[in-house]
Amino acid sequence: MHAHYLRAVAVSAETVLVSASTGPGGRRAALHRARLDEEAAFERCTDGLPSWFGDNVDTGCLAAGDARLVVCGTEDGHVFRLGRRRRAMEPRGQGLPPITSVVLR
């Protein structure tokens, strides 16, 4: 991982996702993923996401469901979603108030 200050964790099917940054201020924050059934290192999620998040992605702002469904919300009002068959995150909302939590049903 690019940094070791971790704030969120979510598990989706065979994948674990974590948010990491360089510290509590959220500098250089990003999402990373690793497969649970492999001993491979975490890889940074880049497809469809900004180069860096401006703030940390907190625990309540990262949610995962079955079949690789993942949603991430940010303090600057963006929502990203990883679809069931896609590898890239896609923007699902912007210009919203700060996202403080996301929930999947």
Task: State pLDDT tens for residues 60-102.
Answer: 999 988 767 889 999 999 999 886 556 677 788 889 999 999 9
Is pLDDT above 70 for 42?
Answer: yes
d(CA 46, CA 34): 14
Asked whether residue 99 is assigned to any structural domain, the reply reads no
Q: State the distance between the two ends of the chain, measured CA to CA, in whole angstroms.
A: 30
Asked whether residue 98 is assigned to any structural domain, the reply reads no
Q: Name the nearest CA neighbour of 8 among 77, 101, 84, 104.
A: 101
CATH classification of the domain holding 65: 2.40.10
Full residue range of the structural domain in which residue 14 is found:
5-93
Which runs of consecutive H residues, i.e. helices, occur in 9-58?
Answer: none
- φ/ψ (deg, to 5) at 46: -125, -35
pLDDT at 57: 93
Q: What is the pTM of this model?
A: 0.86
